[in-house]
Structures are given as C-alpha cells and as structure tokens.
C-alpha cells in the first residue's frame, strides 16, 4: 500500500500536469453583510476584516447588557408581543435609554437611535446564541524531513537567478530530478498518518513554494 501511494504521487508530481504555483496565496475573501445586518446597522459599518465587523457607533457595555437581557426574555415572542414588550421596556428604562441616546448624539450619530435599539434587540441580540462552541482540536503537525528541505533549498538556489524563474517550473524540475528522495518522503508521511496522495502532493508542493519565498526574501 505504501509503495502504491508513493508511486501515485510520483506519477502525478513529476509530469506536466502539475498546477502552476501562484505568486501568492494570501487572497482575502470579500465579506458582505447580509440584508439583516444592513437593516440592523444601517450606515454603521466602516470596515470588515478577518470576520470582525467594525462599527462607528457602538452601544455602551451597560446598555448592551440590558438590551441583551430583554432580547433573550422575549426571544420567542411573536412580532406584536415583542413590540408591545419593547414599548413597556422603553418606559421602564427611560433613564437608561435617554443616557444612551444622549451619548450617541454626542458622538455624532444622526440616525434614529430608538429604531437602532429596537432593530438590534429584535434582529440581532434575540437570535444571538449563548452556547459556547467547543474549541476544535488541532491536528498534530507533520513536518517535512530535513533531507527533503535541504534538497529543495539547493534546487531553488541553483535556479533562482535564472531569467523568468517561476516556482512552478522549479517544482516540476525538482520532482523530475529527485524521484527516489520523494518516494522516501511519501513513505515517511504515510508512516506519520498521512495516506492521501493528493494531500501529500499539496503538502510538498506548498513546502517548495514557501521555501522559494523565504529564499527570495533573504536575497532582497
């Protein structure tokens, strides 16, 4: 079985079907707000990065706590009941609402603040889960052997000054010139628990690309 996987890797890695390596894989997916988000936070969003939404006019911590309590108490109310409970809550918490309104006005907020409060309670906090997600167990990292890393570095350094050098072409040549070494590496990765030939191919290919970037940056 080990030999079969190793042979499959070599047969697909050392021929011309290798995918071209891109100059960078640091593409960031553009995140867009849902319609509900746009309704709740109309014109408040000033940026989105790494799944963290940044808002210009946040409610105070104290107000959020009270608004959240109200939202969870009336989480399963129908729209009419929720609206009625909201009107009662506004009257009961008149001082808190007034202080929060004044604070947002001082910050420069020009929208309908009570409407902003209601929409946050109805469409955001009411649906926000209180369940803590269990942290995902990280898989044990399996590295590339020192022998393969040294061979990769030597290969890159021998070609890096060539005109029009590309990591994709370098990887193609490296595979063709180091078939026996790659077979041993594949067998080692299988012993470490990685048996999928495609995963192994991507791992070695990514390692080659990363070493290219490191060596190029050192030269610069």
Task: Kindly report, residue by residue over 161-215, the tens digit of the pLDDT.
Answer: 888 888 888 899 999 999 999 999 999 889 888 888 898 888 999 999 988 888 8
Task: Kindly report, residue by residue over 72-103, the tens digit of the pLDDT.
Answer: 999 888 999 999 999 999 999 999 999 999 99
Residue 216 banded pLDDT, cuts 50, 70, 90: confident
Task: Kindly report, residue by residue over 147-176, the tens digit of the pLDDT.
Answer: 999 999 999 999 888 888 888 888 999 999
Is pTM beyond 0.85? Reply is no
The 8-class DSSP code of residue 20 comes to P
- Give DSSP secondary structure letters for 94-151: HHHHHHHHHHHHHHT--S-HHHHHHHIIIIIITT---PPPPPPPPPPP-PPPHHHHHH
């Amino acid at each position: 079985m080990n030999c079969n996987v190793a042979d499959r890797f070599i047969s697909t890695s050392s021929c011309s079907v290798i995918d071209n390596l891109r100059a960078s894989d640091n593409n960031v997916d553009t995140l867009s707000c849902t319609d509900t988000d746009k309704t709740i936070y109309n014109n408040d969003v000033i940026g989105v990065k790494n799944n963290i939404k940044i808002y210009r006019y946040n409610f105070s911590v104290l107000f959020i706590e009270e608004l959240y309590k109200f939202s969870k108490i009336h989480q399963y109310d129908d729209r009419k009941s929720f609206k009625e409970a909201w009107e009662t809550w506004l009257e009961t918490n008149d001082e808190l609402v007034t202080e929060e309104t004044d604070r947002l006005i001082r910050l420069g907020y020009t929208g309908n603040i009570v409407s902003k409060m209601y929409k946050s309670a109805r469409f955001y906090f009411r649906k926000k889960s209180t369940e803590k997600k269990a942290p995902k167990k990280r898989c044990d990292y399996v590295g590339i052997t020192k022998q393969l890393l040294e061979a990769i570095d030597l290969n890159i350094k021998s070609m890096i000054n060539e005109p029009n050098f590309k990591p994709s072409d370098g990887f193609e040549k490296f595979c063709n010139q180091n078939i026996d070494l790659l077979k041993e590496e594949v067998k080692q990765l299988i012993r470490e628990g990685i048996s999928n030939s495609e995963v192994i191919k991507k791992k070695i290919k990514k390692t080659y690309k990363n070493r290219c970037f490191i060596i190029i940056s050192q030269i610069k």
